Amino acid sequence: MQSFTYERAASAEQAAAAVAAQPDAKFISGGTNLLDLMKLEIERPAHLVDISRLPLDRIEETAAGGLRVGAQVRNSDLAADPRVRSRYPMLTQALLAGASGQIRNKASTSGNLLQRTRCPYFYDRNMPCNKREQGSGCAALQGFNRTHAVLGASEACIAVHPSDMAVAMAGLDARIETISPGGETRTIPIGDLHRLPEATPHVETVLGHGEMIAAVTLPPPPPGRQVYRKVRDRASYAFALVSVAAIVEKSGDRIRSARIAMGGVAARPWRATEAERTLAGAVASDGAFTDAAEAALAGAVGHGGNDFKIPLAKRTMRHTLAAAVESA
Amino acid sequence: MTETKTSGNRSRETRIGVIGRPIDRIDGPLKVRGDATYAYETTLEGTAFGYILGAAVAKGRIAEIDTGEAERAPAVLLVMTHRNAPAQPDFGPAVTPTVPEVFTRARPALNSERVRYYDEPVALVVAETFEAARAAAGLIKVRYDEEPGLYDLPAHVADAYAPKRTNAGFETDSVIGDFESAFAAAPVKVDATYRTPFEHHNPMEPHATLAAWSGNELTIHTSAQTLANFRAGVASTLRIPPERVRIVSPFIGGGFGSKLIAHADTILAALAAQVLQRPVKIALTRQQMFANAGHRAEMIQQVRLSTDTDGRLTGIAHDVWSATSSFEEYCEQTAVFARSLYAAPNRVTRHRLIPLDINRGEWMRSPGEAPGMLAFECAMDELAERLGLDPIELRIRNEPVQDPERGVPFSTRNLVACMEEGARRFGWERRNPTPGRAREGRKLIGYGMAAAIRPNYIGAATARVAIDRDGRVTARLDMTDIGTGSYTILTQIAAESLGLPISSIKVELGDSRFPRTAGSGGSWGAASAGSALHNACNALKQRILEAAASSEASPLRGAGATDASFADGEVRLGQRSTSLADLIRRIAPDGFEAEGSVAAGAATQSYKAYSQHSYGAHFAEVAVDCDTGEIRMRRMLAVMGAGRILNAKTARSQIIGGMTWGIGAALMEQTVLDPRYGHFVNHDLAEYHVPTNGDVPEMEVVFLEEHDDKANPLGAKGLGELGVCGAGAAVANAIYNATGVRVREFPITLDKLLPALPVIAI
Amino acid sequence: MAETDYRNGPTRRAVLEGGVATGVLLATSIPAYAEPAGAVSAAASAAPAPTMPMTLRINAKDLSVELDPRTTLLDALRNHLGLTGSKKGCDHGQCGACTVLVDGRRINSCLTLAAMHEGDEITTVEGLAVGDRLHPVQAAFVARDGFQCGYCTPGQICSAVGMLGEARAGWPSHASADVAAASVALTDAEIRERMSGNICRCAAYPNIVAAIRDAAEGA
Ligand SMILES: Cc1cc2nc3c(=O)[nH]c(=O)nc-3n(C[C@H](O)[C@H](O)[C@H](O)COP(=O)(O)OP(=O)(O)OC[C@H]3O[C@@H](n4cnc5c(N)ncnc54)[C@H](O)[C@@H]3O)c2cc1C
Ligand code: SF4
Ligand code: FES
Ligand code: FES
């Protein structure tokens, strides 16, 4: 970990300005991802602006009937909030399926969204990795890529975004509020926050330098039952191989609408819009779930080690949809 | 405390009944308060912090190394590379002339510009703080001339060679009868090839050392399982007499075989402390442990079994191809257990090695049995199915009357009893022999079992025990407690032998100044050190009795009896008795001291005359998600016949620990060696999965009462590794029973199960 | 770096440890053979690394220290404050050995900077017992043999103390069937899941669960 200077931010505007003022400055929130990477010198900020004490730690009702979650709300507090538990249960489920009790107590809403990939070659500075070192190559493409992406990847990078929380948020159409150094704010739909790798996998989001996430807004809960299902290699404390967040609204024996997002399959939480379209109006049946799963993975490409993710994602989606329908 | 007052079963050996009782660990309060001090936690005035930089390539040489920026970095005291490290002997040949030299040979670090394996140390930075040392290590620039290396076991099986011996000095091959003909002629057979992956010990405490010189004497505070070997290894690397090296290791945060020899942290701390003339502390990072602190090698195992139509084995063949290091041979004794487990007239076991450009493998919990039984006991399950026999019945039909290869009797062998007791307790009759039939909701349920066998080793050991005028006893030996409970059981042994309460006994371990033992390894610690202490206590009692009979001041003087006993804090001689403390005060104000020893097992008559093993039976129930293939444990049971149990509580802990290692091996543990770069890809605890609390189900452990009087004076046998042996196979067999899918490539992750798992209607 | 081929990347021969792609080596400064032992001098300029003053409140005591800003809370405890009860198992949030309580909440002290915790109430394993009286969770770990080597133990115990608070507050877990339920019954399955952030390689898990169950029931 190279030397840095440290300051505690006094306000959101000041924090944004402080980071913007130095090209090598970074926000530090919970620190659970940034410090991990700094110890390995994958991240080498020269200045840290500590935003963990900013008063962005509240969950408030919005006029529209949704919730506005401050960037500094800890993952565990968000998961435990009674309003989230009753109105957005799949968000609670996703949060609780991630990391460990200790990490959730530290991890912030914004940090979770912006955590970086767990690709093991990204994590080893001796290995070629376009994301870590632009133009150095991608060791995963022909290497050990069991955990890698099957959707939206490129020749330059096949890493996945590791967040569980973000997958549930994608299914809930969350919106990201940011504040820029000048004090101006903007709102970004969660689906637009993360960029697909294309030729520039090191550019991961649409945020500008010094642009700070201030809050995440959840629209009013959509009708239907919510389920988050995470599949992993051990019972707990492991990243998703694949995950599915599903909300299914039924009307009689038909599906009125469905929202589906997948994790562990792409460089961003992946909204399965084709699957949603197949389900809308279909009779809730094994066949419909299977068709939806096929539609969701239609464009999927494996890279050898991760080929299994395609059938796994389909099977997981099929039974997650069934579970969502069961008591919808 | 009044432990000695309650005497349970008054059989000859358990007269006082302290041995065997499930007393709480003596070191428990220290450990739960955070007061037990592990290697890195010792502090000495002026300690500097070291940080190791590892090689970025797996084979080649350092062409250029620029340490200038690191040397100029703040708070840096020393940057050591092969260019300026104190001279050390060359590493030497890949195979040492004798087995013990494996442990005592020089293990130089930063000794050459050659890179032999990925992440081998190429530089050490020592600084005033850990932060400064780590940062400076990142400023060193190295250019390598990389050479092509071999990293792919399956691709090089054709180049395998037969080593001269396996680990622990076993014969490489064993051949009895004519296996090939028997196999060819047999009506029923199994020929199955299994793969077991690279695995890493991953004790929770990383390897760490604080080294300090005082004149030409070196003290090493480290995390070591066997101090005498460590000391010899450090001494030969530094080219100083062993007497000038002291190893201190009172608490060890787990070892599992990865702390039997000195690693780079120890050697480099000693060298840097010498150069800087101040204490230096170094820990391997978790990531560095993967390349620098041993592993279990990847293996391909072919098991061939043939039977007559009644399920009696006519042939057993176990062939193992294992990866080894190109510069230091290590051959795990993977097929050796198969020489003793089941009867069959025709048998072959063989070990072959494929050298790769990786660091050496090291003894990982249950070397041999852990990977070997994973394969072999699955093959037995496959055979049972082919025969339409219950797996337990198949094993019973092949129970040998004596050791099938050595032709000597067993000291004790309770395998059948373990299996039968286990079947009864587990509800084995509820198992559906047809796989894939038991379903609960969307979970497929399966039962599996496997046998366990682990040889009983005993190493040479000496213990010293002293009693002072207040009747307080101190036992000292260079034994270690790596979590096995040595402090506790040794206290129990001394308390029982001397008839004193636990609170009067102090056991001091983990200092090479104490009498030499075999340390903790091969599950022999309790039996070896325990027997030595038992003998030392007997010698002490003898001295006390002699003095008591003759000393003027002794109230027992002239008792003239031979039936002496030590119990309840008293010494009884014939009809007379007196308090032990009072007696010592009168006859020996300076107290008494005595030593006791045991010889290495292999050298003893009993070891030659008997086949000595611990046995057991493992049972597992799993649930497999029919949609995702996720496997979760439901419950496990182990029934063990392992000689006399010294402490029922710590013994059970050893077994459940081993069973959990079985879960790990069956379901998740695997380190991936990248055949392009020669590095272990998933080299941290996020990507190398060991079982978490959530992976471990309810576990039951039953010990069958057993006293092995051939094994040693205590009648105790090794436990620490028995729990692993066969446990993974029981899990794998349960998965097969649940799904009907036989995965022969470990670990059994869901991706391997999924293609064969039928899609079940919703 | 000459090549920018996405698939293959640069030849690994050219990889520089420093990760500085443009680093230029001073080829002349490399002596051909090793200097004799003992001839190594300490590095030329051992200028101190910059530090910052801070006050940490640990186990109800205010401790003032000068620390490098890079110092994690864990390294501050272990290397600077003599509180070695908190353990380093991985230094990357992957094992839980470093778990401490900050304002009553369990966190991994390896993944946070000491400087970020000025003004917080930090409790380490050393702060749990009252004199000779062990905390009920500590006592239960001894009675149930909830450890072997003991290295993960302080982290397990701090984690359990924090976890019991979370359960009392009605926080659900991944093992909870209905996350919206107002309270949770602390079943073994719940304890296992909630304690899964603490790896025990000795695998004392069933005993850890039993100890926590006892402590939760006030047994
Ligand atoms: C062992 C382990 C296991 C894990 N398992 C899982 C898992 O299963 N599922 C899962 O989802 N996650 C998992 N995680 C990841 C964890 O969720 C993240 O580390 C955490 O959410 C990051 O949050 P933080 O507040 O600590 O972020 P930080 O580390 O503080 O920040 C991360 C990044 O976000 C930036 N940032 C933070 N806040 C802002 C802001 N407001 N505006 C702009 N930029 C900002 C920082 O500059 C930094 O680049 C795991 C982590 C570990 C160590
Ligand atoms: S997949 Fe992406 S992150 Fe991983 S090595 Fe390739 S470029 Fe790097
Ligand atoms: S040392 Fe902090 S989690 Fe492992
Ligand atoms: S007691 Fe050894 S790691 Fe848990």
| Segment B274-297, tens digit of pLDDT | 999 999 999 999 999 999 999 999
pLDDT (tens digit, 9 = 90+) per residue, B388-427? 999 999 999 999 999 999 999 999 999 999 999 999 999 9
pLDDT (tens digit, 9 = 90+) per residue, B442-461? 999 999 999 999 998 888 99
| Mean pLDDT of all residues in C155-169 | 98
Domains with residue ranges and CATH for chain A: 225-326 (3.30.390.50)
CA C108 to ligand 3 center in whole angstroms: 6
Residue C40 has pLDDT above 80, yes or no: no
Name the stretches of chain A with pLDDT < 70: 327-328
Cβ within 8 Å of residue B214, ≥6 positions away: none
Percent pLDDT > 70 in chain B is 98
Q: What phi and psi, each to the nearest 5 degrees, are found at residue B572?
A: -115, 135
Q: Rounded to whole angstroms, what are the CA distances from A70 to A16, A178, B114, C85?
A: 16, 11, 54, 35
Residue B340 one-letter amino acid: S
pLDDT (tens digit, 9 = 90+) per residue, B221-271? 999 999 999 999 999 999 999 999 999 999 999 999 999 999 999 999 999
CA angle C147, C148, C154 (to 5 degrees): 45
Domain annotation covers residue B560: yes
Residue in B142, B122, B42 with CA at minimum distance from that of residue B292: B122
Same structural domain, B138 and B276 = yes
- Which of B84, B127, B650 has its CB closest to that of C40? B84
Last residue of a domain, one of B548, B582, B599: B599
Residue in A128, B436, B329, B432 with CA at minimum distance from that of residue C15: A128
Q: What pLDDT is attached to residue B10?
A: 34
d(CA B164, CA B143): 38
Check if C12-127 and C136-217 are the same fold: no
B691 alpha carbon, closest ligand: 4
- Band (pLDDT 50/70/90 cuts) for residue C219 is low
| Mean pLDDT of all residues in C198-217 | 98
| Mean pLDDT of all residues in B104-120 | 97
Last residue of a domain, one of B552, B575, B599: B599
Beta strands per DSSP E along chain A = 5-8, 25-28, 47-50, 59-61, 67-70, 175-179, 185-189, 212-218, 225-231, 242-251, 254-263, 270-271
Q: What pLDDT is attached to residue B1?
A: 29
pLDDT (tens digit, 9 = 90+) per residue, B647-664? 999 999 999 999 999 999
- Band (pLDDT 50/70/90 cuts) for residue C46 is low
pLDDT (tens digit, 9 = 90+) per residue, C164-175? 999 999 999 999
Q: What is the CATH number of the domain that holds B118?
A: 3.90.1170.50
Same structural domain, B89 and B229 = yes
- Band (pLDDT 50/70/90 cuts) for residue C1 is very low
Could you tell me the two tokens for B739?
């799904």
- What is the CATH code of the structural domain delimited by C136-217? 1.10.150.120
| Domain boundaries along the sequence of chain C | 12-127, 136-217
d(CA C96, CA C194): 12
CB pairs under 8 A between B and C: 285
Q: Rounded to whole angstroms, what are the CA distances from C118 to A328, B443, C8?
A: 48, 50, 47
C66 touches chain B (CB under 8 A): no
Residue in B168, B197, B21 with CA at minimum distance from that of residue B672: B197
Same structural domain, B100 and B46 = yes
d(CA A196, CA A192): 10
| Mean pLDDT of all residues in B673-680 | 98
Of B720 and B494, the one with more pLDDT: B494
Same structural domain, B515 and B635 = no
Residue B9 has pLDDT above 60, yes or no: no
Confirm or reject: Cβ of A104 under 6 Å from ligand 1: no
How many Å lie between the alpha carbon of C8 and the closest alpha carbon of chain A? 5
Three-state secondary structure of A49-65 = EECCCCCCCCEEECCCC
d(CA A91, CA A84): 7
Q: Contact at 8 Å (CB) between B144 and B61?
A: yes
Instruction: Among C77, C91, C151, C158, say which to mutate for ligand 3: greatest number of ligand atoms within 8 Å of CB.
Output: C91
Q: What pLDDT is attached to residue B716?
A: 86
Last residue of a domain, one of B584, B599, B614: B599
Q: Looking at the 3D structure of chain B, how many domains does it have?
A: 3
Q: Are A316 and B676 inside 8 Å of each other by CB?
A: no
Q: Contact at 8 Å (CB) between A134 and A102?
A: no
Q: Which residue of A has its CA nearest to C195?
A: A101
Q: What is the CATH number of the domain that holds B563?
A: 3.30.365.10
Residue A54 one-letter amino acid: L
CATH superfamily of C12-127: Beta-grasp domain (3.10.20.30)
Domain annotation covers residue B2: yes
Q: Contact at 8 Å (CB) between B583 and B566?
A: no
Q: What pLDDT is attached to residue A327?
A: 63
d(CA A138, CA A136): 7
Q: Are A315 and B754 inside 8 Å of each other by CB?
A: yes
- Band (pLDDT 50/70/90 cuts) for residue B604 is confident
| Mean pLDDT of all residues in C46-71 | 94
Q: What pLDDT is attached to residue C45?
A: 53
Confirm or reject: Cβ of C197 under 6 Å from ligand 3: no
Confirm or reject: Cβ of C93 under 6 Å from ligand 3: yes
Domain annotation covers residue B348: no
Q: What pLDDT is attached to residue B562?
A: 77
pLDDT (tens digit, 9 = 90+) per residue, B457-481? 888 999 999 999 999 999 999 999 9
Q: Contact at 8 Å (CB) between B137 and B53?
A: yes
Which of C22, C108, C109 to probe the A interface (max A CBs under 10 A)?
A: C108
Nearest CA to ligand 1 atom 19: A33
Same structural domain, B626 and B735 = yes
pLDDT (tens digit, 9 = 90+) per residue, B21-39? 999 999 999 999 999 999 9
Chain B hits for C152, CB-CB cut-off 8 Å, are 204, 253
Chain A hits for C7, CB-CB cut-off 8 Å, are 137-138, 141-142, 155
Domain annotation covers residue B134: yes
Q: Which chains, if any, share at least 3 CB pairs under 8 A with chain A?
A: B, C
- Band (pLDDT 50/70/90 cuts) for residue B603 is confident
Same structural domain, B496 and B433 = no
Same structural domain, B125 and B245 = yes
| Mean pLDDT of all residues in B296-303 | 98
Same structural domain, B497 and B411 = no
Query: Which residue range(s) make up the domain with B762?
Result: 1-16+387-457+606-762
Residue C28 has pLDDT above 70, yes or no: no
Same structural domain, B60 and B112 = yes
A305 alpha carbon, closest ligand: 2
Domain annotation covers residue B32: no
Q: What pLDDT is attached to residue B601?
A: 80
What is the pTM for the complete model shown? Answer: 0.95
Domain annotation covers residue B369: no
- Band (pLDDT 50/70/90 cuts) for residue B713 is confident
- Band (pLDDT 50/70/90 cuts) for residue C8 is very low
Q: What pLDDT is attached to residue C13?
A: 34
Q: What pLDDT is attached to residue C49?
A: 87
Active site residue B700: no
Residue B715 has pLDDT above 90, yes or no: no
| Average pLDDT across chain B, whole number | 95
Q: What pLDDT is attached to residue B282?
A: 98
Q: What pLDDT is attached to residue C3?
A: 36
d(CA B719, CA B615): 10
Three-state secondary structure of A141-179 = CCCCCCCCCCCCCCCCCCCCCCCCHHHHHHHCCCEEEEE
Distance of CA C18 to the CA centre of its chain: 27
